Chains A and B, each alone.
Chain A
Amino acid sequence: MIPLIITLLLPLISSLLILFMNKENVKLIKYFTLISSLITFLISLFLLFNFNNTNPDIQYYINVTWVSSLDAGFRIGLDGMSLLLVMLITFISPIAILSSFDSIKTREKEYYFMILLLQFAMVGVFTALDTFLFYIFWELILIPMYFIIGIWGGKNRLYATVKFFIFTMVGSLFMLVAIIWLGNYVGNEILKTGFTTDYLKIKEVANLIPLNYQNWLFWAFAISFFIKVPLFPLHTWLPDAHTEAPTAGSVILAAILLKMGTYGLIRFNLEFFTSASIANASLISIFAVIGIIYGALVAAIQTDIKKLVAYSSVSHLGFVVLGIFSMTAIGIQGAIIQMVNHGLSTGMLFLLVGIIYERRHTREISEYGGIARIMPVYATFFAIAMFSSVGLPGLNGFVGEYLTLIGAFTSPILNSWGYAIAASTGVIFAAVYLLWMYQRVFFGTVDNPSNLNLKDLSKREWAFLVPIVIFIVWIGLHPSTFTNISENSTRKLVNKIENVKFGITPYPELLKNSNLKTNSNQINNNKIGK
């Protein structure tokens, strides 16, 4: 319990301390931020080691009353899936901070304040077990990210940051209405104990909501998550935001912010609105597959390396969504491990793009060529990240994509091979656009004289790239270290889905004295009819 509180609050406390530091003393601010995030990482390791893999339920559960009139509490806790993602945050944050030591040269105090505030909000999103608290953290992320892109971003940053802000806010405000409606319905109509936002309470009974209401709620939550993922066709903010954000911003955006959407889909949509999820699975999977192929094709024609990586995210996240809506244990496990993989490999690609951008101040592919001869170490790291992103067996990307594809292939809910077959072409396209880009940048002759004097990686850059490589190889060779953590919680969820699908009422004792019996029977009949 205590490690969880520290993991959550230490970044917030440090960020507030930064406010009291002298603006001129940049070194102190930098190292203070780095050390604070490293300590957070070390403390979060306790969470990992004390975690009981065999227990599918929420662990480290903390419940403190906060707004009593709304039954909103400070309820946080972790299960297997959220533990993996929290570890990803605490692991990526020091790397992102270290990577910005040289690239951020103006208004450092505000920058490191924002980064730590962002870390606090991110951990909050993945640990919150209260719809109200979740919403607060979800919105809190917007503020630091808005400033990070807007102040330290590239040329077109204003457009990108406003677009990012408005897209996210549009989705989340509808989610807010859904959260209120859900709390009111569950609290006053089903449980009759008054308005509630307790995640565990709602989870138990949310499936008793009639299917037509569930559908609306499902979409209100899902649209907000799809914008964040981003799922085709709601992805248009992503390339702009990614391209304009500073390196650390892109890394955090890719590694963690996008996962908020997919996490939300599993955490809320599948858990709360299982029937509606089953009903909409095929439709969403179609969009996921379109996203996979579309993202890959658009990535192939980009001339800007960063934009190419950004579009590859659209494609990769398509696999995650496909895995989630296959609603099989293997597919969801694949989706979870793919979230981590994407965080590592795309995060690393953004770091590498940032490294070369700092040296040459351009990201145009045509400006480069033959870099492998000048920066051999850099080229090697880039190759590892790229192969991980392509999905080369032996590296992490393969594991995630393989599992999600198997999930989609065997899914009784999607009930068609078409999804998996179409999606697997995305893997081929990924190889095409990434290898082609690699060839144009790193091989060939050095025909641009300004590339001749590029320095290879510095010690600091080694320091933040090596840890990522270790995990890329580790997940690739021995994925069960990581999949074991989330396996039991995933199985429990899939069990629930199967119960709902085959019409077994999950909580018969609750229904005995309730007038909702007819509704839930109706849902079951509908499903059997299908």
Chain B
Amino acid sequence: MEIQVLFSLPLIIASFFAVFMPVFDAILKKNKQIIFLFTLLNFLLVIVADIFIFASPEFFTGVLKSGLENSDFGKFLSDAVSLGGYTSFFDLLFAIAGILTLFAAKDYLKKESYELKEFYSLVSFSFAGMLFIAHANNLLILFLGIELMSISFFVLSGFFRNNILSIEASLKYFILGAFATGFLIFGFAMLYGATGSLELKVIAQKISFNQVTPIYFALAIGLIFVGLAFKASTFPFHQWAPDVYTGAPTVVTGFMSTAGKTAAFAAFIVITKAIFLSNLVIDNATVNPPVIAITRNSREILAIIAALTMLVGNITALMQTNVKRMLAFSSVAHAGYILLGIVSNNSNGWSGIVFYAFAYVFMQIGAFVIVSLIEKENGSNLNLSDYNGLSKSHPFLSASMAIFMFSLVGLPPFAGFFGKYYLFLSVIQSGYLWLALVAVIASIISIYFYIGLIINMYFKEKEGEPLTVQCKTSGISIILSLIGVIFLGIFPSLLMNPLLNLFK
């Protein structure tokens, strides 16, 4: 019993804070400082809970799974959510992303004079949604998580309610997002039709025992992929991303394009782990040929989507002169890289996704925090040329930005390199050499715009007044991100080895 409570603690904490945050909001009236600390506490408690989970002896031995089934409470939980294991790493990831965003948001919102308390409750809501996605063991819970997260994001992206771009972003995201959700829920319904269950465990069993209707199953996969591809902003459902990411407040963009995207990929992992046959099953051919064909074909389709996502994202990013928009397009490309892990459908791929997501959270949020610092009122001062000579006036900011850019390109010894390395390794192992080559070509294209920013910062001189930057709490985010990028780049094993164990 205690173990089960401990392992479900992150979910409990996040839900508690999400639900009670509006209440505290009302009680505390105008004290922004306390509500800020309160949100911080939310994330920190989740991290602490996760540390206890990592430390508990049941974490790796797998006792938890059998232990869960024994008690009523455990059984009730395990039908709905999966606890421990890789999900704890997702908790950690989302909590870290939340903390990084929170510190940056304090400076940023103050600067834009939009420091409303609702921001913090919305972030807490989306955080709870993300946790439910990662923990989902049931299609309904998964859907609940996705909706909770998405709806909070719809509001967050329109948070600057006097800014027309922000409103446009919100509206676009909402209308298209609602449409995509329709596809997703229809897909879930089809999957229920094909297998007769909403529990992912049961679905996986039915598929490997041949108890599915292939036609519904194929339709279900197609519809679910459309829905998830939209949430993860992969080609050809990426069109909303640049506008929404550019229009939304910069810190929100940082949070959405990292944690939000990772959550979408967590959903991808949760679903594909259940509905894709493993390579072993395919080799032994114990399943109906049509079902095997469905797995094979859908992996091929995902591979093509991944290739196009990487290429389209990077090529369009080449043309941008607005830094925020450039990062938005490149985040589409990064979704393509992460998709490699889904295509490879093996433990290397899944753990590669989580590793890359960690690296991506640090480098992308770090970059967005710096963008939010340079930005001035009403979204001005976002162009590449505004970064000219930054290395002279703000050596720390520009050096950090340079490190984030190098990491995004995938240069060693930064975290982004290892992420790419693991993902390339996983696709090569599963026989998609061509996809690795496309990924390489996409990375080559991305060099140009990432180091282009460094050119502006280091090699060009600023004309006129040097920039003044108010950097208080944002500095904490930047330093944390730097530590993350460098630490994961030098000691990748510390994160990778447990991940590989868990996904086996």
Of all chain A residues, the one with the shortest Cβ separation from B448 is A166
Tell whether A10 is near chain B: CB-to-CB under 8 Å: no
Binds B, one of A150-158, A233-241, A266-274, A372-380: A150-158
B436 and A180: CB pair below 8 A?
A: yes
B444 and A166: CB pair below 8 A?
A: yes
Contact of A177 among B436, B455, B497 (CB under 8 A): B436
Of all chain A residues, the one with the shortest Cβ separation from B442 is A173
Tell whether A457 is near chain B: CB-to-CB under 8 Å: no
- Complex formed: what's the CA distance from A511 to B466 in Å? 68
Residues from 57 to 108 in A contacting B, C-beta threshold 8 Å: 66-70
B444 and A184: CB pair below 8 A?
A: no
B440 and A174: CB pair below 8 A?
A: yes
A69 and B496: CB pair below 8 A?
A: yes
The tally of residues in B whose CB lies under 8 Å from a CB in A reads 30
A180 and B428: CB pair below 8 A?
A: yes
Q: In the complex, what residues of B have CB within 8 A of residue A176's CB? A: 421, 424, 440
Tell whether B459 is near chain A: CB-to-CB under 8 Å: yes
Tell whether A165 is near chain B: CB-to-CB under 8 Å: yes
- Complex formed: what's the CA distance from A28 to B406 in Å? 30
- Complex formed: what's the CA distance from A181 to B458 in Å? 37
A67 and B492: CB pair below 8 A?
A: yes
B492 and A177: CB pair below 8 A?
A: no
Q: Chain A nearest CB: distance from B434 CB in Å?
A: 10
B440 and A184: CB pair below 8 A?
A: no
Tell whether B447 is near chain A: CB-to-CB under 8 Å: yes
Do A173 and B440 form a contact, CB below 8 Å, given A67-B496, A69-B497, A136-B413?
yes
- Complex formed: what's the CA distance from A157 to B409 in Å? 21
Q: Chain A nearest CB: distance from B317 CB in Å?
A: 16
Chain B proximity mask over A251-294: 1 for CB below 8 Å, otherwise 0: 00000000000000000000000000000000000000000000
Tell whether B1 is near chain A: CB-to-CB under 8 Å: no
Tell whether B6 is near chain A: CB-to-CB under 8 Å: no
- Complex formed: what's the CA distance from A169 to B436 in Å? 16
- Complex formed: what's the CA distance from A67 to B496 in Å? 9
A177 and B424: CB pair below 8 A?
A: yes
Do A68 and B497 form a contact, CB below 8 Å, given A157-B459, A162-B455, A176-B424?
yes
Q: Chain A nearest CB: distance from B482 CB in Å?
A: 13
B458 and A147: CB pair below 8 A?
A: yes
Tell whether B425 is near chain A: CB-to-CB under 8 Å: yes
Tell whether A311 is near chain B: CB-to-CB under 8 Å: no
Binds B, one of A138-146, A317-325, A390-398, A421-429: A138-146
B413 and A140: CB pair below 8 A?
A: yes
- Complex formed: what's the CA distance from A176 to B455 in Å? 25
- Complex formed: what's the CA distance from A165 to B454 in Å? 12
Tell whether A350 is near chain B: CB-to-CB under 8 Å: no
Q: Chain A nearest CB: distance from B343 CB in Å?
A: 16
Q: In the complex, what residues of B have CB within 8 A of residue A181's CB? A: 428, 433
Of all chain A residues, the one with the shortest Cβ separation from B460 is A158
- Complex formed: what's the CA distance from A188 to B451 in Å? 37
Q: In the complex, what residues of A have CB within 8 A of residue B413's CB? A: 136, 140
Tell whether B23 is near chain A: CB-to-CB under 8 Å: no
Contact of A169 among B429, B437, B447 (CB under 8 A): B447
Q: Chain B nearest CB: distance from A220 CB in Å?
A: 10
Residues from 333 to 347 in A contacting B, C-beta threshold 8 Å: none
Tell whether B411 is near chain A: CB-to-CB under 8 Å: yes
Q: In the complex, what residues of B have CB within 8 A of residue A139's CB? A: 411-412, 417
Chain B proximity mask over A127-149: 1 for CB below 8 Å, otherwise 0: 00000000110011011001100
Tell whether B282 is near chain A: CB-to-CB under 8 Å: no
- Complex formed: what's the CA distance from A140 to B443 in Å? 17
- Complex formed: what's the CA distance from A181 to B426 in Å? 10
Tell whether B71 is near chain A: CB-to-CB under 8 Å: no
Residues from 443 to 498 in B contacting A, C-beta threshold 8 Å: 443-444, 447-448, 451, 454-455, 458-459, 492-493, 496-497
- Complex formed: what's the CA distance from A69 to B424 in Å? 14
Q: Chain B nearest CB: distance from A483 CB in Å?
A: 34
Residues from 361 to 401 in B contacting A, C-beta threshold 8 Å: none
Tell whether A111 is near chain B: CB-to-CB under 8 Å: no
Q: Interface residues, chain A, CB within 8 Å of chain B?
A: 66-70, 135-136, 139-140, 142-143, 146-147, 150-151, 157-158, 161-162, 165-166, 169-170, 173-174, 176-177, 180-181, 184, 188, 195
User: What are 24 A-B contacts defined by CB distance under 8 Å?
Assistant: A68-B493, A68-B497, A69-B496, A136-B417, A140-B413, A146-B451, A150-B459, A157-B459, A158-B459, A161-B459, A162-B448, A162-B455, A165-B451, A173-B440, A173-B443, A176-B421, A176-B440, A177-B424, A180-B425, A180-B428, A181-B428, A184-B428, A195-B425, A195-B429
- 4 cross-chain pairs, A with B, having the tightest CB-CB distances, nearest first: A136-B412, A173-B440, A150-B459, A67-B493
Q: Interface residues, chain B, CB within 8 Å of chain A?
A: 406, 409, 411-413, 417-418, 421, 424-425, 428-429, 433, 436-437, 440, 443-444, 447-448, 451, 454-455, 458-459, 492-493, 496-497, 500
Extra pairs beyond A136-B417, A173-B440 (19, CB < 8 Å) = A70-B421, A70-B425, A142-B411, A150-B459, A151-B458, A158-B459, A162-B448, A162-B455, A165-B447, A166-B444, A169-B447, A173-B444, A177-B428, A177-B437, A180-B424, A184-B425, A184-B428, A184-B429, A195-B425
